[in-house]
Amino acid sequence: MNSTKIYIAGHNGMVGNAIFEILKKKRGNLIITQSRKDLDLVNQIEVKKFLEKEKPDQIYIAAAKVGGIFANSTFPAEFIYENIMIEANIIHNAFISGVKKILFLGSSCIYPKFSSQPIKENKLLTGKLEPTNEAYSIAKIAGVKLCESYNRQYGESHGIDYRSIMPTNLYGAGDHYDLTNSHVIPSLIKKFHEAKINKQSKVIIWGTGNPKREFLYVDDLARACVLIMNLNKKKFYENTNDRCSHINVGSGYELSIKNLAKKIKKITSYKGQIKFDLKKPDGMKRKKLDSKHIFNLGWKPNVDFEKGLKKTYNDFKKRIFNSI
C-alpha cells in the first residue's frame, strides 16, 4: 500500500495537534513535523530547503501567529508580517516542490465587521474589517487568495488543488492560556482560575459582555480539515468556485461573552463577582458562520459545548497546574 506523506505545519499548536492525532491513527499516513526551533516558517530559505527535501503529498497549514483582541491591537505589525510570510513561504515553495494538495486554515475574522448573520462565504471582501484585528484578518485573506490564485493559474497545468477552510472561534485541549495574548475562552479560564486561587473578589472582563460568539471544539474542526483535504474534487467544487473557494466550519452554537463568563465562572467554582470594563473595546458584535456547505458534506460537530468547556478546563489544570 502506498503511503501518503503529510506535513502538518504548526503541529504543536492546538489545531495542528488535533489534526495530527486523527491522521496518525490511519494506516498508510507518513506524517512529517518540524518544531519552530528546527524550521522557521518565516524564513523563506529554510522553508524552501525543507520542502525540496521532503516533498510531501499533502500540507496542512495550521501554523500562525494568533492572539486575542489585546494582542491583535497591540502587535499589528507582527501579526500581519509573520502570518503573511508563513503562508506565502509554504504555499509558494510547496508549488515549486511539486506538492499537489494543501489545506490552509483561515479564520472567521476575515469577514467584514457588519456582515449579515450568519455569514456566508461570499461575504468576503464586501466591507470593512473589524479594526482591532484588521492586520491578522488581512493576512488570513491573503492566504485564501494565494490558494485561489495558484489554483487558477496552475491548477490544470500542474494538477494542484489548494483548499481553504474557515473555522469559527475555537477552543479545546492544547490551547494557549494567557491573560493578554490568547483567545477569549483560554484567557477567561486562566483569569477565573487564578482569581479563585488568589481569593480575588472580582474578575474584570473587557467590553460590555454583549457581543455574541460561536464556538467549536478543536477536535471537531480537525475532523472537518481531514474531510475537506480528502474530499473528491468534483464534490468540493459543487460547494465552492474558483473565486470563492473557502468553506466555513462553525458549530451553529453561539452565546454572549457575558453568558460565556458565567459558564466559566461555574466550571472553575469561582465565587466572586464579574465586572465589565466598558472603556475597553468589544470587537465585532456578532460573528456566526453559515456552515451549510460543510453540513451538506456530511460533517457535524460532535462535542457538546458544556462538555468541551469542562475538558478544556481539565486540560488547563493538568498542563498548567499539574493537577485535576
- Among the residue ranges 14-28, 67-81, 193-207, 300-314, the one predicted with the least confidence is 67-81
DSSP 2: P
For 101-110, 241-250, 263-272, 313-322, which range has the lowest pLDDT when averaged over its residues? 313-322
Q: How far apart are alpha carbons 138 and 103 in whole angstroms?
A: 18
CB within 8 Å of 150: residues ≥ 6 apart? 91, 95, 160, 162
User: Quick one: cell of 250?
Assistant: 462553525
Annotated domain spans of the chain = 4-320
Q: Which CATH class is domain 4-320?
A: alpha beta
Candidates 7, 60, 111, 136; catalytic one: 136
**Using an 8 Å Cβ cutoff, are 308 and 217 in contact?**
yes
Q: pLDDT tens-digit profile of 248-270? A: 999 999 999 999 999 999 999 99
What does the block give as the cell for 168? 469559527
Closest CA to 184 of 153, 165, 161, 209: 209
Residue 324 pLDDT level (bands cut at 50, 70, 90): very low
Q: How many percent of the chain have pLDDT more than 70? A: 98
CB of 229 closer than 8 Å to CB of 58: yes
Q: Residue 66 has what pLDDT?
A: 86
The secondary structure of residue 62, as a DSSP letter, is -
pLDDT in tens, 288-317: 999 999 999 999 999 999 999 999 999 999
Active site residue 136: yes
Please tell me whether the overall predicted TM-score, pTM, comes out greater than 0.85 for this model: yes
